[in-house]
Structure 1
Amino acid sequence: MGEKASVTPLELFFDLVFVFALTRVTDWMADDPSVESLVRGALILTVLWWTWVGYAWLGNVAKADEGILRVGMFVATAGVFVGAITIPEAFDDLPGGLYGPVVFAVCYFVVRAVHIALFWVVAREDPMLRRQVARFLPSMLAGTILLLVASETEGWVQTLLWVAALLGDYLGTVLSGTDWRLASASHFAERHGLIIIVALGESVVSIGIGVAALPISWPIIIASALGLTVVAALWWAYFDVTSLLAEHELASAVGERQIRLARGCYSFLHLPMVIGIIMLSLGLKKVLLYVGGGEEHSLSDPIYGVPLAALYGGTALYLLAHVWFKWYAMHELSRARIAVAVVLLAVTPLVASIPALATLAVLAVVLVAMVGWETHRYAELRHHVRHGDHPSGSRGDGGHPPAGHDGHPAT
């Protein structure tokens, strides 16, 4: 693959299955919005993310729609799809049929095993990469075994075994080394940008599903517009400037630093962004249901408890993950986004007593104010970054883009 490679249609097809999987997670949590379901939902999202990440790296080294990789991608897609169908039974088996937790764990193993096998084939002429794949293998096996063990338990023991499986997998990845390959920084950044779009798309779907069976009304129209405003603000926060700056940093890095940036900024730090968006989706779905009068609710009813925590807390998590992403890539701190995240967490108890529509309006106003302030505050730098008319020689701070008036780049 060349440096300017783009995402292939087969990779986009693979991502479509993740749209379905994310929808299943949101629906499953919405059926029983408890703290336990939020924790378990986040664990399921992490498992799904870890399967997706492997193929993002694989598709960056070799074209995903050529030769044996095409066949392997279809097999992996089938594994993810069956796993997505099994999400409601990932922890607790439903009566009849196969034992759900085991099926989910087996699907995870199949998708990961195909990934390892395909990477081994791709690395046949690269001994260093093959050694890297071999060092990575134990963490994958350990994670799968722990998930299989977890399928035979229940309650918090089962949840803790899931946590152990995922921690082992992540720590194993960190400890296995940095001898991976990155053929195209633009492809890698585009791939992760598209998965953010997929997650944001789930938020839009949740807005529609929340009122699908209810008659249209002015409150529903207003709430839908506010929900789309929130989603648009999160899109703006990622794609307007920061994603471009991060991609530039990734492309300009070389050797081990580039691999560390790709792993830290994208493989690791995009996960909390996705989890935050899906938690937001849960909150949006409940708000629209309340506003539309579903489930014996009325327009004046407040949204509180877990759905409110998901709505505001998910947004705060997304913003904080975004701040960390930018810090890891460029060592620049987005103070405004930290402040907004803190404000959202602080006002959560206060908005629990006002109507759900007003709660959503407060969130939309805060996010629009943040985006508007950043756009105005860093207008000149934003123009330079988006239109590419600043010469590389003007980067006089050791590789970072020209700073704003207070020394900080646009967010």
Structure 2
Amino acid sequence: MADSQRSRVVAVSDKGSVTQLELFFDLVLVFAFTMVTDLAAHDLTAVNMVRAVVVIALLWWLWIAYSWLGNVVKADEGVMRVAIFVAMGAIFLMALSIPEAFHDTPGGWYAPLVFAIGYMVVRVVHIGVFLIASANDAQLRGQVVRWGLGSLTIGGALLVFAAFTHGSLQIMLWIAAIAGDMAWTLLAGTDWRINSVKHFSERYGLIIIVALGESIVSIGIGVAGLPISWPIALGSMLGLAVSGLLWWAYFDIAALTVEHAMHQATGERRIRIARGSYTYWHFPMIVGVIALSLGLKKVLNYVGGADGHTLDEALYGIPLFALYGGVVLYLVGLVGFKQYATGQISVQRLVAAVLLLALIPLAAAVPALVALGMLCGVLLALIGWETVRHAGIRDEIRHARHTA
């Protein structure tokens, strides 16, 4: 970039990595994910689950925009640093408004509009910095303008309009806003830039850790204030093991394989892998982990005897589907993540996903702690089989990554 721009933006090098400011930015997402989990737990109905998923989708689509921007210009330099803090403030206000985003509580600001305005602010700041960063890159400038106009007029405008509606129309406008934003991103072109494959893959790996961290927090919340006992200790260790096994499923081979594929790809193919494998296929993984968080929170409620529950009580309904379905979504997302970049389908993970779905009726007939143990057992068998079966591949891909 030209010297006149250096005080405003600094380009990311091809060996750039995630900055500490980006990690700080993600802390706001931790809080937002917690608020979404609370929104879902407050009203265990299908309609409210749809609301929670839509909120996650909108937060995700804001986050991915900054993952692409942070790969072009350094997050902790120049105007980008200011932009990150402004975006953090807006997202934090959005997170605070989540409990009232669909049903405003009398008194104070009108929460649905606070959420919509926050969304617009984060979008405008992102597009503004991208325009500065693309001042000497006509191709990128055209892509930013084309995408930005569609994003603001589809997602932002529909959310503002939805803030003044209620009931079915409101939720339909929210769905249209995020669906339109996602579709427009797919249709708006592939003239983006990936300056550092390392930074991009690290960025998405870290957001997976953030989401898994929320699942661990949910375990603690589920037994907060209760005296420690063997059921609580066992349930907590099983929940922690499930989160750890999901971490293993992502980072042991899959993340390295896709990162290596991105290193080997060039031009439009690299952009397509970044958009398909990361921007799109990570979304079901994030939704899956947040759903798992809800399920774990309820299981630990049962195990600890909170809210009148008993140790021998079975988990059922939405909490059970969140527990098992969340892991299924995560596994399917992982399969798509790897397949899009490499063409390889992880059949064993699809088999594990189908098995978990088949086990739901049995899980509904046994105590919640046993249902959690069954889930952990399936994941342990999957990871154990992969660890032995792919030992040679793991060594090979890690060596290739080291020398790339």
TM-score, normalized by the shorter chain, greater than 0.5: yes
Aligned runs of 1:9-408 on 2, under 5 Å?
9-141=20-152, 142-388=154-400
CA positional deviation for 1:376: 0.9
CA deviation map 1:141-170 (0-9, x unaligned): 221111111112222221111111111111
| Structure 2 Cα separation of the partners of residues 173 and 389 of structure 1 | 29
| Structure 2 Cα separation of the partners of residues 391 and 282 of structure 1 | 41
| Structure 1 Cα separation of the partners of residues 273 and 396 of structure 2 | 23
TM-score, reference length from structure 2: 0.95
* Match in the other structure for 2:9: none
| Structure 2 Cα separation of the partners of residues 45 and 69 of structure 1 | 25
| Structure 2 Cα separation of the partners of residues 169 and 105 of structure 1 | 14
Matched residue SS, 1:60: coil
Matched residue SS, 1:93: coil
Unpaired segments of 5 or more residues in structure 1? 393-411
Q: Work out whether residues 280 and 312 of structure 1, in 8 Å CA contact, stay in contact via their aligned partners in 2.
A: yes
Provide the identity percentage.
55
| Structure 2 Cα separation of the partners of residues 232 and 389 of structure 1 | 23
| Structure 1 Cα separation of the partners of residues 364 and 107 of structure 2 | 40
Amino acid at match of 1:107: G
| Structure 2 Cα separation of the partners of residues 63 and 391 of structure 1 | 25
Q: Which moved more, 1:146-155 or 1:7-16?
A: 146-155
Matched residue SS, 1:86: helix
| Structure 1 Cα separation of the partners of residues 403 and 258 of structure 2 | 17
CA positional deviation for 1:391: 8.6
| Structure 2 Cα separation of the partners of residues 224 and 388 of structure 1 | 37
CA positional deviation for 1:384: 2.0
| Structure 2 Cα separation of the partners of residues 378 and 295 of structure 1 | 45
| Structure 1 Cα separation of the partners of residues 401 and 286 of structure 2 | 32
CA deviation map 1:295-348 (0-9, x unaligned): 000000011000000000010000011111111010001111101111111111
Change (3 A) 1:286 1:130: same
CA deviation map 1:260-313 (0-9, x unaligned): 110011011111100000000000000001000000000000110000000000
* Match in the other structure for 1:2: 13
Amino acid at match of 1:64: A
Unpaired segments of 5 or more residues in structure 2? 1-11
Q: Work out whether residues 260 and 400 of structure 2, in 8 Å CA contact, stay in contact via their aligned partners in 1.
A: no
Matched residue SS, 2:71: helix
CA positional deviation for 1:388: 4.1
| Structure 2 Cα separation of the partners of residues 295 and 284 of structure 1 | 15
Matched residue SS, 2:298: helix
CA positional deviation for 1:386: 2.8
CA positional deviation for 1:39: 1.1
Aligned residue pair count: 392
Q: Which moved more, 1:140-149 or 1:309-318?
A: 140-149
| Structure 1 Cα separation of the partners of residues 227 and 43 of structure 2 | 24
CA deviation map 1:79-135 (0-9, x unaligned): 111111111111111121111111100000000110000100111111111111110
Q: Work out whether residues 138 and 172 of structure 1, in 8 Å CA contact, stay in contact via their aligned partners in 2.
A: no
CA positional deviation for 1:4: 1.4
Matched residue SS, 2:331: helix
